[in-house]
Structure 1
Amino acid sequence: MAPEALHYMELVELTRRMHAKEISPVEATRAELDRIAMLDKSLRSYALVTPEAALEQARQAEAEISRNEIKGPLHGAPIAVKDLCWTAGVATAAGMTIHRDFRPDEDATVVRKLRAAGAIILGKLQLTEGAFADHHPKIPPPVNPWNAAHWPGASSSGSGVATAAGLCYASLGSDTGGSIRFPSAANGVTGLKPTWGRVSRYGVFELAATLDHIGPMARSAADTAAMLGVIAGRDEKDPTASLEPVPDYLARIDGGIRGLRIGVDVEWNRRGTDATMVRAVNDATEIARQLGGEIREVKVPDPSAVIADWVLHCGIETAVAHEATYPARKSEYGPALAGLIDAGRAASAMDYQKILLHRHDFSGRLRALFETIDLLLIPAQAFASPTMADMATLGEDPEKLAALLRYTCPFDVSGSPTITLPCGFTPAGTPIACQFVAPHFREEILFRAGKAYQNATDWHHRHPALAEK
């Protein structure tokens, strides 16, 4: 098999062949490390690569597989994790210069679970400072492999770039206002933001504790299902991790869309949304209809209050997360994260109570909507594939910021699970995406819908030419 085919193979197919002893975990890991060495100087997706540790893990996986001691669908797969997840003895900087020398003495729960499942961790992926909006001024941002002039997404930018460019088979990202979905859309990969509490946050740097979600980014719905099946579940170290049982997502993934009630709010999906994005979502709706989905016109509860609240909501919680280092080390922070924390520290208790009331109101109305539908189909963002120049002025335009957050942050506020799926390309040849949203803990429906959609389309099989230069 040619290396070009190998590095873009879906994770579940890779490990199926590994477990059949057709592909060697050591050879696949070496190939990924070689590819990182060749391409990542220009793409900058990794904050840190750990080649010796990865090869040792690969040799162990190969020995176990040779004895038919198969641990599951991740066994032998070379993956990478966002650099806000603790890794024992390995630097975990969270995109911040003040943490560049921090070496935790234990793994984050998600990392521990990935290791236990036999996944091979290639290294740590770059992110925006503290997982907020912008990269630290002293840290060069990752480069979108489809077009260097276009935004790679935030804050899981390194995760999106590395997964799209074939520098890992899947990755972990985090999402507080859209940070799994933005880079998944920007880089043409599949991203899963789980229900809040579905995945433990222990050992993961906080941005905003009640908004933060940890989830997988990969090449397909099946790959994200395999990843979530490993990292989800209770955790004695995180009392906010749900006690809900974790289904076998892969066993249920071929159920299809037929008979599912799919809600579409035509007016909300198109209001203030660019024409390219509207056409792509309309096309995805028609495909869902052809696959047997029952398309229902619905009205999404007005999210304008929670969207308007989001920056201050995030800022208040971020101020708490950074209390030990801010304002004591304010001079070492970049302007975006410092500004967020300052806003949070200046807020009053009354401000926060109003935010909470808006949150509960929207979340309750959304729960009621999901009494009538199984899924909601929406854009991933209002404007398809913005350029770096577009995003440089985002903070100066409150309406544009609200438009960016329109289809993402409301579902962080509600804690609802979503899957982001590549669904087309812009005239510039850069990818765009749509989302399915589901009720709490119904990720298996998202995987079913995602798999059915991807069986009927080939957007997720297309790869960036820049990554081959």
Structure 2
Amino acid sequence: MSTVLPESPEPTAPGSTATPATTEAPRTGPTALESAAHAVDAAGLPADFAYLELGEVAELLRSGRTTSRALTEAMLARIDRLDPQLRSYTTVMRESALAAADRADQEIARGGYRGALHGVPIAVKDLFFTVDAPTGAGMTVYKDFRPEFDATVVARLRAAGAVILGKLTMTEGALSQHHPDLLTPVNPWDADTWTGVSSSGSGVAAAAGLAFATLGTDTGGSIRTPSAQNAVTGLKPTWGLVSRYGAFDLAPSLDHIGPMCRSARDAAIVLSVIAGPDVNDPTVEPRPVPAYEELVLDRVPTVGVAPALMGYFDEATRAVVANTAAVARGLGWNVVDVELPDFVSANADWPLLVGVEVAHAHRDTYPARKDEYASVLTGRIEDGLRATAVEYQAAMERRRAFTGRMHALFAGIDILLLPGVGEASPTWAEIDAATADPADSRLRSLPVAPIDNANLPSLTLPAGWTDGGTPLGVQFVGGPWSEQLLLAAGHAFQQVTDFHRKHPSLG
């Protein structure tokens, strides 16, 4: 599979503002909102409203050019029209969304504007507790579960004035396979192409313009692979930055919560709302929340590329990473080769680490309700139950050593550049075939699962296309608590490329 990429640019001097020749369309023209401003409907919405970035939507609402009610009704109509085919929503919360939109309009009209999410329709993965809708976690076991409280991240989104449109489809228990009795979302770029692992509905909804932002979770790549597969921007924060209270566990020491959006700027806006200490989650670090949305690089970043690891990947995957490195050089960034800790061994340890934790997480329903579980989740739980304490302790020691070496790596670089998926835009047929070949599955997770083992932050960015027109993504991985740098670097990359501004043709 080849990759449609522009030619590499000539390097520019550090600090240069020259636009690299790799980009398809430098951001010198009007924004989406400006270009569509002449074609608004009676509700003040441009024809391409569904693909506006959060800042653009916020300005429409803040200025009174449209209302949250009009925006929410338009988005619900779009969901009604497109989602029967795309299947990104498991529950549409129509009544509560419209009620929240009306409240937002009243508050904004009274001068009580809360910020960039006020009145904006968004959606969340169906493992976050919501008092006004079931929370099923992709499982038939929990299909009728009605939480008595909101997850902390949901409560914070509501407090910011966001309108929650509904709950998004996901794999069973947030592992790797959709339950056969429940919905499997469809990639809006190509129905035969994989949607990525558990935050699959979040990636599809964001890509298809069925929400202005979504929330996902990532234990072994579940924000990053759906972001790469669907051409959206997804952030997996440092473990301990975002509260996990009120979210179903897969493997708590590996679970991360983060935004999946149009752009790095959008991800920064959402992260600013959901991050920070929580009395209900003592694992969250008591750190102040930076102004992520300022998006200013305070230094010329050094980007590490790992030639030895890249040798594991196909030509198209290597090409998209090389092209991104060329864009980085064109921005004046330093690009250097690095030697990584043992990613192959860290990736091989991930199933055992997850298996033990997922067995514990499901102790109340497994094996008591084993017949309601599908094969992949069952297999992972059984692997965890069979693991000995000695085996698990050995894997934990290797995990700690790998984490220490990864932290040391970031003493010499600011960003590690990796593929978003270990295989260029795999199809569903390839994914199904890999079920019988664990080595194939491990290759696909090679650039993502080890980053979870080390609990490091990673920003996934749309960065190219296969010759079939399906998306390719890359990761900007950083040291602990480097989200501000990663988001600023991602924003700089997106200012000189337009990959994140391409959208699927959905009619």
TM normalised by structure 2 equals: 0.90
Q: What residue identity is the alignment partner of 1:403?
A: L
> Larger deviation: 163-172 or 3-12?
3-12
Selected match of 1:383 from 417, 423, 426: 423
Q: Of the candidates 393, 398, 408, which is equivalent to residue 353 of structure 1? A: 393
The Cα shift of 1:464 comes to: 0.7
State yes or no: 1:342 paired with 2:382. Answer: yes
- 2: CA distance between counterparts of 1:43 and 1:56? 26
The one-letter code sitting in structure 2 at the alignment partner of 1:378 is L
Give the letter for the 2:296 counterpart. D
After superposition, where does 1:283-362 map in structure 2 within 5 Å? Answer: 283-362=323-402
Cα deviation 1:133-182 (Å, max 9, x = unaligned): 10011013000000001101110010000110000000000000000011
Partner of 2:210: 167
Q: Which runs of 5+ in 2 are unaligned?
A: 1-39
Please show how residues 226-265 of structure 1 align to structure 2 within 5 Å.
Answer: 226-251=269-294, 253-255=295-297, 259-265=300-306
Q: How does 1:434-445 map to 2 (within 5 A)?
A: 434-445=474-485
What number of residue pairs does the alignment pair up? 464
Give the drift of 1:254.
Answer: 3.4
Partner of 1:412: 452
1:3 Cα shift? Answer: 5.0
Aligned equivalent of 2:116: 73
Residue 58 of structure 1 aligns to a residue whose secondary structure is: helix
- Work out which of the residue numbers 76, 82, 96 in structure 1 matches 2:125: 82
Residue deviations 1:19-51 (CA, integer Å, cap 9, x gap): 122222111111100000001111100010011
Match of 2:411 among 358, 371, 383: 371
Tell me which protein shows more helix as a share of its residues. Answer: 1
Give per-residue Cα distances to partners, 1:202-238, cap 9 Å, x unaligned. 0000000100001000000000000000000000001
Aligned-partner Cα distance in 2 for 1:4–1:387: 32
Q: Which amino acid aligns with 2:184?
A: P
Q: Which amino acid aligns with 1:436?
A: F
Shift of 1:260: 1.0
Return the offset for 1:294: 1.1
Normalised TM-score (structure 1): 0.97
Distance 1:322 1:398 in 2: 23
TM superposition shift of 1:4: 3.8
1:99 partner SS:
coil
| 8 Å Cα contact 1:89-1:106 kept in structure 2 | no
Moved over 3 A (4+): none
Match of 1:432 in 2: 472
Percent identity over the alignment?
49
**Paired residue type of 1:261:** T
Query: Of 208, 221, 229, which residue of structure 1 is paired with 2:264?
Result: 221
Matched letter for residue 445 of structure 1 = L
Distance (whole Å) between structure 2 residues aligned to residue 440 and residue 8 of structure 1: 32
Q: After superposition, what is the alpha-carbon deviation per residue over 1:291-350, rounded to whole angstroms, capped at 9, x for unaligned?
A: 111112111111222211111111110000000000111011001101110000010000
| Contact 2:96 2:132 (C-alpha < 8 Å) held by counterparts | no
Separation in 2, partners of 1:294, 1:388: 37
Matches within 5 A, 1:152-191: 152-191=195-234
Aligned mates of 2:132, 2:160 — CA distance in 1: 20
**How far does residue 71 in structure 1 lie from its aligned partner after superposition?**
1.0
Superposition map of 1:125-204 within 5 A = 125-204=168-247
Between the aligned partners of 2:315 and 2:501, the Cα distance in structure 1 is 24
SS in 1 for 2:216: strand
Q: Which has the higher contact order (CA 8 A, sep 6+)?
A: 2
The CA RMSD over aligned residues, in Å, is: 1.1
Say yes or no: does 1:56 pair with 2:99. yes
